[in-house]
Structures are given as C-alpha cells and as structure tokens.
Copies of this chain bind each other. A is one copy, B any other.
C-alpha cells in the first residue's frame, strides 16, 4: 500500500521504522531536505501547509496521514473528496489544529477542559479572572505560542491575535493517554503515563509508565477517553494530555491528532508501541495489545544551551553500557538549543529504580555541538 505522511520528522521516522516489518511503501513530505525521513522513504521536499503541494503529494496515495497537525487541512478535505483515505480525517485535524475550535469541541462534547474565553483581536473585555494562560489559535508547538498572564501589569503582554485564554489549573500531575480507533470502530487505549516537565524548556522531560491513580481518577480518565473517541468519529491515533488537579479532578489540557512524545516509552515498555498501533490504524487492521511489560520511562535528548552545529552526544558510550536502556536518535545532523534530537527509554522493576535510572542517565549524556 502507498502510504503518504505529511511531515518527515522523528514521529514519521519511528512510524516507518516500526512499519518496516510490513510491506508498504512510505512517502513523506517535508520542507527540510534533510528531514529525518528523507532517506528511508520516497521523499518530497515541499511545504505541507501549501494547498497545491499537499494535493499533488496525496492524490496518488492509498492513504494519507500526518505526523504534525499544522498541515493544510483544506487540501486533505479535497483529497477525501477525490477518494483518497485520510487518517485522521481532515475535519478532526482542522478542529484540533486551531485552539479555539479544539476548546469548542470539548465544550460541545462535554469533555472537561479548563474554562476559557476566546480572544479575536485583543479588543474584547477580558472576563477570565487572573491568573490565566493564553494560547495562540494556531502555530503553538512545544511551548511556543503559550504564555501565562499573572497580574494586571501583565495585561500589556496579551497577544492581540486569535487565541484562547484559559483558567490555570492547580496541577498535581500531568498525565497523558494515547488512544486509537480504526475505521471499523475498534478502539484501544494505552496505559496512562505521567509527564514530568522541565520548567525551563517547557519541553516534555521524563515520561513514565505505569502511574498509580485512585479509582475515581481512573474512572474520570476512562470517561474522557470514551467521550473523546466517540466525539472524534474518525480513525486515528490521538494523544490526550491531561491535568490532574490538587482536588482530584481530571481536565483535558490539549489533544494531538497524531503520534506523541508522551508515547515513546511504549517502544520497549509495552507489548506494542504507539508506532505499531498507528500503522494498524492507518491500514484499518485489528488494533494491537497495549499492555505494559514493566516500569518504563523516557527522557528527551534536547540540544544543550550554547551549542549549535554538528551534533555530538557526549557520554553516549557509557549510556550504552547500561542494561535495559535504549537510545533512539532522530537522524538530525545539527543541534541547537532546545531542539529534540532523540530520546532514551529505560526499563526497571519498580518506580523507584526507574526514577533513579532516569536521573542517572540524564546526568550522563549531553547534546552538544562539535
């Protein structure tokens, strides 16, 4: 089958890597000539935000999917009209890629998500009490396009572009759950993971699994995933990022209509990975088991401050000596501060051992330049 992917980054790369177990042809579209997928797929250099480019790329494929949501969804809708299968469908991509529509979607389907107000041009009266978080309608990614307004003073920083402002949740834990639905309507959910963010970079830092939650929290989460999977009404693999607040209530922070950083530890920690599941969704195959094998955790390899240029993974050889430690690099030649260059998965027999190993590994390796 001819499978086209909009985006040629690490998520596409790991999807293709996993799917090399099967016999499909992968095609990728990315503006960067040296994108991580460029040499393991039939690669087209081009802009996945451009209507004609996406239409041309997709028209001769059996199915088109995405590994980034900031793509031209109108072109995907036209491909659907022309009979090309698009996974997930263009409607849900369009909804999720715009924060305003995404928040309206939660409201419509009664999915708990923080209170919000829409900002169109900054002239509207702000009724949301302080403090609040402002998220740009489009273009937000990895902490970009997000700011917190804490004081009256901060109002002057309010962006005047289409955006949402949301009440701040008093966060106890950040959780994530990856869910999948195939065309036949079969659904599967990965075990919930806990994300531990690095406050400086606002990039996911550790991600661990399983997480022990009380029955009530478990119930809230399964209600959310159920409502979400019914509401999307599209085949797809989705990451639902959740806040558990200090009063034990679960809120949807945001969702992604694609493979997600918070699912990487599934590569060795689960019976099947999010990448295997995504492949099965794209091909409408029976969905894979998502059982946990053991305690697993992931840490991102992010370009160190003050280093830009040809990448060196300082300390890598020592990391490779550690048992049950799996290095995943993304085939990017150049590092820069904060750039996601790879990740490391770690397995352990207990949560304590896991945290100890993750902290140890984090201290052993640095992503620097020559």
Task: Choose among B23, B39, B328 the residue that contacts A21 (Cβ–Cβ < 8 A).
Answer: B328
Task: Choose among B25, B286, B293, B323 the residue that contacts A321 (Cβ–Cβ < 8 A).
Answer: B286
The residue on B at minimum CB distance from A333 is: B23
* Interface residues as binary, A314-353 with B (CB distance below 8 Å gives 1, 0 otherwise): 0001001101101111111100000000000000000000
The residue on B at minimum CB distance from A280 is: B320
A289 at the interface (CB under 8 A from B): yes
Chain B neighbourhood of A40, CB < 8 A: 20, 39-40
The residue on B at minimum CB distance from A276 is: B326
Chain B neighbourhood of A324, CB < 8 A: 271, 289
Contact assessment for B285 and A23 in the assembled complex, using a CB-CB cutoff below 8 Å: no
Contact assessment for B286 and A331 in the assembled complex, using a CB-CB cutoff below 8 Å: no
A103 at the interface (CB under 8 A from B): no
A99 at the interface (CB under 8 A from B): no
Contact assessment for B23 and A329 in the assembled complex, using a CB-CB cutoff below 8 Å: yes
A135 at the interface (CB under 8 A from B): no
Using C-beta atoms within 8 Å of the partner chain, give the interface range for chain A. Answer: 20 to 34
Complex: A321 Cα to B311 Cα, angstroms: 42
A13 at the interface (CB under 8 A from B): yes
Chain B neighbourhood of A333, CB < 8 A: 23
Task: Choose among B23, B291, B293, B331 the residue that contacts A331 (Cβ–Cβ < 8 A).
Answer: B23
A21 with B286, Cβ < 8 A, contacts A42-B39, A320-B280 known: no
Task: Choose among B17, B25, B289, B320 the residue that contacts A17 (Cβ–Cβ < 8 A).
Answer: B17
Secondary structure dominating the interface of A? loop
A212 at the interface (CB under 8 A from B): no
Minimum CB–CB distance from A145 to chain B (whole Å) comes to: 30
The residue on B at minimum CB distance from A18 is: B17
Residues 247-293 of A at the B interface (beta carbon under 8 Å): 271, 280, 285-286, 288-289, 291, 293
Complex: A42 Cα to B23 Cα, angstroms: 19
Contact assessment for A323 and B22 in the assembled complex, using a CB-CB cutoff below 8 Å: no
Minimum CB–CB distance from A343 to chain B (whole Å) comes to: 10
With A17-B20, A23-B330 known, 20 other A-B pairs at CB within 8 A are A13-B20, A17-B21, A20-B331, A21-B327, A21-B329, A22-B327, A22-B329, A23-B329, A23-B332, A25-B39, A39-B40, A39-B42, A40-B40, A271-B324, A285-B317, A285-B320, A286-B317, A286-B321, A289-B324, A293-B293
**Lowest 9 A-B CB distances belong to which pairs?**
A17-B20, A286-B321, A21-B328, A23-B329, A286-B320, A289-B323, A40-B40, A22-B329, A23-B331
Q: Name A residues whose Cβ lies closer than 8 Å to a Cβ of B.
A: 13-14, 17, 20-23, 25, 39-42, 271, 280, 285-286, 288-289, 291, 293, 311, 317, 320-321, 323-324, 326-333
